[in-house]
A and B are shown apart, each in its own frame.
Chain A
């Protein structure tokens, strides 16, 4: 593999505490050297068959982004997305690592599917980390073989799309996952309270004549899970190595759920949470005239909930921004609101929205925004060598212009699906290059 020199750029590597001009040498898929401009062993460098040079003058160089919540739809739902198209979208959005949810067809219950997803034949542009199904076929009844799943490469277990509802089963999941060093990601939705619902419960749902999901369907389950984690952490049950259970709350959307996570952290528990851009930007009002691109689960919530997501991000209780990238074919969304599937795409708009709003409008430092999109999610799932550019790390790099404004056009998306409420939105921070393990996997078209 050839060597790659990124020169003249400004490196922001939050995990390493670097925010300075740096040249970077990538070799054999790893970071070989990081030095002040012109001070690497290659000096100014000279492009050749063995040395590729990326001139990053005026640009910011950062660790490739890490999205711990995407639906790549393979196996089985290739009309929505494939691993190839989903990871191409990831690359265009600056992501070099994506964790793929197991609600595929069939569900990812086995080492075979886990390995299939990671096989070179899938044509992935960036690294895919499969997440295993916590229970067989996501039914919340029978636990899968976590040892076998972990050996095949899963980085966590979840029934995402469905909750693990039964107390006894969730308890077993936490115990077994902890034993195998796996995080448990919960889709916190008490489905006993959300039957037939298609948006958030509240005045908007009443006005639109839609059944609403009450916020307690989310936070009630988060609180239940935290009680279980408390119990298992205190008694140390099921863990010989002193490992404490790790509960990660997926797509947090209610103020009370963030408050519950905050309290759990104060109590010293390993409880983390992620927030999706749509939940820190949009509210139930964005359903507008029954826009199916504003339909997702959890639903867009009240303005107070949205503000709590922003506050949680700003004050550091939120550990990661994750997209919940959920592609659906156009014909699947062109139906009655109540019949439309949940979810929106997110990989190509997450950085632009985060920089535009969190950084530019709400003044979260650039390094913090990047950390929420790379170092923190990588650490959360224990993805070693990802989310940082220290020597020896994977050569996963995003090079971008943090100041450049641009307009997101869904039709130009690399994803197979275009279901996004952010079509036409102003974004900030355009990705120029994305490098995955030393290979350039995305390069912006010249302006």
Chain B
């Protein structure tokens, strides 16, 4: 039989690709990539309304509704602010962490989720060491899921609160967001990009509003292909050049727990990428200094910079509560108490 009969034919049709990562349950926020500009605007507006509201009135909004926080990884900021957010809206919260629960006995994420639903949880806030875990939880429970950080993948609520912090400082008074809101703004994200879910969420979210994102770091922590993450993202290995161009400098911690055997010379790293007072004053004297925390003083930035006048690190934490109130409210809005309770009983 002729072997070459078909080989000259160009291959045009190949099987269709699956639809974009999107969420199936209303109110879920699994990734920044899944957020439309419209949804971002809605969340920001809601955060402002809820933040300004009288606390007594606000506590009626989700009075006695049930929200579960399911944390497979340690957390200070995210957990506390989600919890305060839910409680501020009047909801009952319950925290399940991987230690001191049946997860230790080998219960799967699916079964843990179904159990929480049967207990009446109407939404689950999940932090998990495996990228993609929120999709599994949403699929299996059909509850709204708020991703509080999944592996090295995304941390969308962090990106939203970072955005709110940036807007408060650099676009004061802006009510509605558009694809041009952050036009002309350059944000340098520096450090351990490879292992950072905060970096991934920000490099997707900020360009949606027109920002330019520069990723900066050594090859081991910032692979070349990161520049393909989306439009508006580029790589600049030279920290000085990155600083010179930026109005926002976002520093990241080196994630020792995810390095997986990677050897890194910390002294060399500090020499090239540590944000010191000297560098900041010289190359980016007006830039906002941000950090998702936890910060390691003396490593990715010096204590002086963290406590200095350009630092908005604690403001970020503060904005976290407002953003998370909006996310929690949105997750439960449209669901009545009865509907939620019935869902629990059915399970």
If the complex has contacts A207-B200, A209-B152, A282-B15, are A314 and B132 also in contact, measured as CB distance less than 8 A? no
Q: Nearest-CB distance from A215 to chain B (Å)?
A: 13
Whether the pair B19, A288 counts as a contact (CB closer than 8 A) is yes
Verify if A445 is at the interface (C-beta below 8 Å from B).
Answer: no
Known: A203-B228, A336-B133. A315 touches B4 (CB 8 A): yes
| Docked-complex contact A285 and B17, CB < 8 angstroms | yes
Supposing A203-B229, A289-B132, A367-B1 touch, asked if A334 and B21 sit within 8 A by C-beta, the answer is no
Cα distance A282–B14 in the bound complex, in angstroms: 8
Nearest-neighbour CB distance to chain B for A352, whole angstroms, equals: 13
Q: A202-B225, A335-B136 are in contact. Are A362 and B18 (CB under 8 A)?
A: no
CB distance from A360 to the nearest CB of B (A): 10
Among residues 202 to 217 in chain A, which have CB atoms less than 8 Å away from a CB atom of chain B? 202-203, 206-211
B150 close to A (CB within 8 Å): yes
- Nearest CB of chain B from residue A251's CB, rounded to whole Å: 18
Bound CA–CA A202/B28 (angstroms): 28
Nearest Cβ in chain B — how far from A278, in angstroms?
A: 10
CB-based A-B contact count at 8 angstroms: 112
Contacting A311 at CB < 8 Å: which of B3, B7, B18?
B7
| A316 within 8 Å of B (CB atoms) | yes
* Contacting pair A209 B154 (CB below 8 A): yes
Cα separation A336 to B4 with both chains bound (whole Å): 44
Measured between C-beta atoms, what is the minimum distance from A253 to chain B in Å?
A: 16
Partner of B14, one of A209, A306, A367: A306
Pair A286/B11 contact, Cβ less than 8 Å: no
Q: How far is the CA of A288 from the CA of B31 in the complex (A)?
A: 13
Residue of B nearest to A334 (CB): B110
Q: A364 and B223 in contact (CB under 8 A), knowing A209-B152, A289-B132, A338-B130?
A: no
- B174: Cβ under 8 A from any A Cβ: no
Instruction: Tell me the minimal C-beta distance from B235 to chain A in angstroms.
Output: 12
Complex-state Cα separation, A282 to B18, whole angstroms:
10
Residues of B within 8 A of A394 (CB): none
Is A365 within 8 A of B6, CB to CB? yes
**B271 lies within 8 A of chain A by Cβ:** no
Residues on the A chain within 8 Å of B132, using CB:
208-210, 289-290, 336-338
* Among candidates A211, A315, A367, residue contacting B7 with C-beta atoms closer than 8 Å: A315
Distance between A306 CB and nearest chain B CB, rounded to angstroms: 7
CB pair A209 B226 closer than 8 Å: no
Roughly how many angstroms separate A314 CA and B110 CA in the complex, as a whole number? Answer: 43
B131 within 8 A of A: yes
Chain B CB within 8 A of A120 CB: no
Cβ of B109 within 8 Å of any chain A Cβ, yes or no, is: yes
Instruction: List the A residue with the shortest CB-CB distance to B261.
Output: A195
Quote the shortest CB–CB distance from A190 to chain B (angstroms).
Answer: 15
Asked whether B56 is an interface residue with its Cβ less than 8 Å from the other chain, the reply is no
Q: How far is the CA of A430 from the CA of B317 in the complex (A)?
A: 61
B5 touches A (CB below 8 Å): yes
Cα(A282)–Cα(B223), bound, Å: 25
B86 to chain A, nearest CB (A): 25
List the A side residues contacting B6 at CB < 8 Å: 314, 362-365
How far apart sit A441 and B136, CA to CA, in the bound complex (Å)?
39
B151 interface contact, C-beta 8 A: yes
Chain B window 219-230, contacts with chain A (Cβ cutoff 8 Å), 1 for yes, 0 for no: 000010110110
How far is A371 from B279 in the complex, measured between Cα atoms in Å?
67
Q: Most chain-A CB neighbours within 10 Å: which of B3, B130, B223?
A: B130
What residues on B are CB-neighbors of A291 within 8 Å? 18
Bound complex: CA A109 to CA B21 (Å): 44
Contacts of B109 in A (CB 8 A): 335-336
A335-362 vs B, CB cutoff 8 Å, 1 = contact: the mask equals 1111100000000000000000100011
Instruction: List A contacts of B140 (CB < 8 A).
Output: 334
In the complex, A6→B211 CA distance in Å?
Answer: 70
Query: Would you give the 0/1 interface string for A301-345, flagging 1 where the beta carbon is closer than 8 Å to chain B?
Result: 001001100110011100000000000000100111111000000
Cα–Cα, bound, A334→B107 (Å): 13
Interface assignment of B80: CB less than 8 Å from any CB of chain A: no
* B150/A209 in contact, CB under 8 A: yes
Report chain B residues within 8 Å CB of A331: 108
A345 CA / B221 CA spacing, docked (Å): 37
Contact: A337 with B131, CB < 8 Å? yes
- Residue A54 at the B interface, CB < 8 A? no
Q: Which residues of A lie under 8 Å from residue B19 when comparing CB positions?
A: 288
Q: Is the CB of A290 within 8 A of B9?
A: no
Instruction: Kindly state the separation between the CA atoms of A211 and B131 in the bound complex, as whole angstroms.
Output: 10
A270 to B4, CA, bound (A): 21
- Is B7 within 8 A of A288, CB to CB? no
Interface residues of A in 123-144 (CB under 8 A from B): none
Residues in B neighbouring A283, C-beta threshold 8 A: 17
Closest to B204 in A: A207
- Complex contacts, B110 vs chain A, CB 8 Å: 334-335
Nearest opposing residue in chain B for A337, CB measure? B132
A14 sits at the interface (CB 8 A): yes
- B7: chain A residues within 8 A (beta carbon): 311, 314-316
CB-contact partner of B18 in A210, A285, A371, under 8 A: A285
Which residues in A have their C-beta under 8 angstroms from that of B11? 307, 310-311, 362
A272-292 interface code vs B (CB 8 A; 1 in, 0 out): 000000000111011011110
> B128 at interface (Cβ–Cβ under 8 A)?
yes
Assess whether B15 is in contact with A290, with CB atoms less than 8 Å apart. no
Contact with A along B194-225 (1 / 0, CB 8 A): 10010010000000000000000000000101
Instruction: Tell me whether B13 is interfacial, beta carbon within 8 Å.
Output: yes
The CA-CA distance from A425 to B18 in the complex, in Å, is 12
A368 within 8 Å of B (CB atoms): yes
Given contacts A315-B4, A315-B7, contact A208 B108 (CB under 8 A): no
Tell me, rounded to whole Å, the shortest Cβ–Cβ distance linking B322 to chain A: 26
A14, A208, A310 pick with most chain B CB within 10 angstroms: A208
12 examples of A-B residue contacts, CB within 8 angstroms: A208-B132, A209-B132, A209-B151, A209-B154, A282-B15, A283-B17, A286-B18, A306-B14, A335-B108, A335-B136, A337-B132, A362-B6
In the A-B complex, list the 5 residue pairs whose CB atoms are closest, starting with the nearest.
A209-B153, A290-B132, A336-B130, A209-B152, A209-B131
Told that A206-B225, A208-B153 touch, could you supply 18 new A-B pairs with CB distance under 8 A?
A: A206-B226, A207-B229, A210-B131, A210-B132, A210-B151, A211-B260, A285-B17, A288-B19, A288-B21, A289-B132, A290-B132, A290-B136, A310-B11, A334-B136, A336-B133, A338-B151, A361-B13, A364-B6
